[in-house]
Amino acid sequence: MNFESRMLIDGELVEAEAGRTYNNINPATEEVIGVVADASPGDMQRAIAAARRAFNESPWATDRELRKRCLLQLQTALANTREDLRPQIVAEVGTPIALTFAIQQDSCIDDMTWDIDVIDRYEWERELGVHEFFGLTSNRLVVKEPIGVVGAITPWNFPFMLNLSKIVPALAAGCTVVLKPAPDTPYSATWIGKMIAEHTDFPAGVINVVTASDPAEVAEMLTTSPDVDMISFTGSSVVGKRITEVTSATLKRVFLELGGKSANIVLDDADFPAVLSSASMVCMHSGQGCAITTRLLLPRSRYDEGVAIIKESFEKFGYGDPNDFANMAGPLINAKQRERVLGYIEKGQAEGAKCVVGGGPATQFDKGYFVQPTLFIDVDPDSTIAQEEIFGPVLAVIPYDDDDDAVRIANNSRYGLSGAVNSGSLDRALSVARRIRTGTIAVNGGQWFGPDSPFGGYRESGTGREHGIAGFEEYLETKTIGLPG
Ligand code: NAD
């Protein structure tokens, strides 16, 4: 496999200090795919210093034509090498290969166009006109400027997509970046570094990629450094809270995309076979998606009918070898995550929910971190498996009495990232959707995802938005200039 084991620091593809490396493990086979640089604090310090220097001294922050050219070169290089990258993503993430033709790889390369076009479309300056203040008339010019050096920290579940979702708008805005990917998925980031070094005119230091085996040690240098102006983070709410705490010392901007426990509300007039026969798709990518609707709310009046359809869907769900196009789920990312998910399944049973499909490790595979698609019914909305993010192939079905009860249960969560409502009436579904405290929601099968759709969460699902103009503006500062009127 044609992977890149080196980091990108200050325009060069480099080994870690003292040549330190760590193994990148394939979660489906438990075999070593290859090695990758294991950064020291000194490596991270060099990357931060390079990004700072590039922001202060290179033309990047002010030259929009240069930014457009470099980002288009990167997009072309990624598009031209997508068949080199695809097997790397499948191997290190354990994602079903089918997903790499969409959100895990191809669609995010195509979606770069939206952020690159924004460079031309965005209103960078705006005159407010004349205003009188203390007897003086003045004009005001409002100027948008890049915020500075961005530390981008990403998780392992959709690593390539999330790397691009952060670095492309940040770079388009004129920021410089240090990208720190998750330890489990380094090649989805080092490939981007390789393409930048070998196929683009990015000035040295504008974008740096630093890989490390320890999840927190070098990453915390980004969150504490006074030379970093902003942290753009996707990951768990626990780490999001830690970042909020440690960044307070330097008061840098923090943008957080965190966990979820989203509800799919099926109303009593919905077409049950149409809506529920694909219910097992919550197990796609083994449930390792923050926006997956992991709670399914069914009306008591049609509960048994709904459960029967969902159960059949779970029993038919194809999972296993991620390179097989028939499978929509592979393994979990690592042994620790598998144990964590199995722990939640045990807890669900101990707290009285009824497990009707799955419920344990997938023992038909000799190797790999596989867990059976698992369906719980009669789940208490306050129980652990209805409240905590499991990040595995587990669905909790919860009965409700009427629409108000469904809304109350859906909002009974510390998260608010996504959701769905299905009804025979679009108006009824939409009015329920408006009552859910969540950043995104699908009504009657409508998809909210797109390069121009703001994505993010309410409450403990995060702060700020990724994608769209709202996402682009996360990376900008606002300067107001007073001019003689
Ligand atoms: P994680 O929070 O453990 O790690 C995410 C990243 O943070 C990794 O790169 C890790 O090395 C780094 N990190 C860990 N400790 C750190 C620290 N103290 N300071 C700075 N960085 C640190 O999450 P994960 O296990 O990699 O991913 C799963 C989580 O991500 C789930 O909770 C999931 O919901 C969430 N997620 C959210 C979204 C979203 O857009 N809302 C998308 C994907 C995943």
DSSP string, 455-469: B--SGGGEES-BSHH
The residue contributing the CA closest to ligand 1 atom 18 is 216
Atom of ligand 1 nearest to the CA of 290: 34
d(CA 91, CA 187): 10
Separation in Å, CA 425 to CA 303, 439, 444, 467: 19, 22, 9, 30
Atom of ligand 1 nearest to the CA of 258: 41
The catalytically annotated residue of 70, 108, 290, 355 is: 290
The residue contributing the CA closest to ligand 1 atom 31 is 236
The residue contributing the CA closest to ligand 1 atom 34 is 259
d(CA 401, CA 151): 46
* Cα 154 to middle of ligand 1, angstroms: 6
Atom of ligand 1 nearest to the CA of 235: 30
Kind of pairing between the strands at 263-266 and 230-234:
unpaired
- The question of whether 257 is a catalytic residue gets the answer yes
- The question of whether 283 is a catalytic residue gets the answer no
The ligand 1 site (C-beta within 6 Å) comprises 153-157, 180, 182-183, 215-216, 219-220, 223, 234-236, 239, 242-243, 257-260, 290, 389, 391, 417, 462
pTM for the structure as a whole? 0.97
* Cα 264 to middle of ligand 1, angstroms: 24
The catalytically annotated residue of 4, 257, 389, 466 is: 257
* Cα 236 to middle of ligand 1, angstroms: 4
* Cα 238 to middle of ligand 1, angstroms: 8
The residue contributing the CA closest to ligand 1 atom 22 is 216
The residue contributing the CA closest to ligand 1 atom 42 is 290
Stated as kind and residue range, the H or E segment containing 246 is helix 237-247
* Cα 203 to middle of ligand 1, angstroms: 29
Quick one: tokens of 381?
Answer: 């909305």
Topology of domain 263-450 in CATH is Aldehyde Dehydrogenase; Chain A, domain 2 (3.40.309)
Ligand 1, from 234, 466, 467: best to mutate by most atoms within 8 Å of Cβ?
Answer: 234
Atom of ligand 1 nearest to the CA of 260: 34
Atom of ligand 1 nearest to the CA of 462: 41
Atom of ligand 1 nearest to the CA of 243: 19
Q: For residue 189, what are the contacts with CB-CB under 8 A and spacing of at least 6?
A: 154, 159, 160, 163, 179, 181, 209, 211
* Cα 318 to middle of ligand 1, angstroms: 27
Asked whether the CA dihedral 337, 339, 344, 349 is positive or negative, the reply is positive
Per-residue confidence (pLDDT) for residue 57, from 0 to 100: 98
Closest to 202 in 3D by CA, of 193, 190, 215, 214 = 193
The domains of the chain are located at: 7-258+461-484, 263-450
Query: What confidence tens digit (pLDDT) does each residue in 303-342 have?
Result: 999 999 999 999 999 999 999 999 999 999 999 999 999 9
Separation in Å, CA 456 to CA 84, 341, 373, 459: 31, 24, 27, 10
Residue showing tokens 């410089």: 176
Ligand 1, from 167, 239, 455: best to mutate by most atoms within 8 Å of Cβ?
Answer: 239
* Cα 234 to middle of ligand 1, angstroms: 5
Residues of the chain with pLDDT under 70: none
Per-residue confidence (pLDDT) for residue 1, from 0 to 100: 86
CATH architecture, domain 7-258+461-484: 3-Layer(aba) Sandwich (3.40)
b (16+ CB within 10 A) / e for 18-37: eeebbebbbbbbeeebbebb
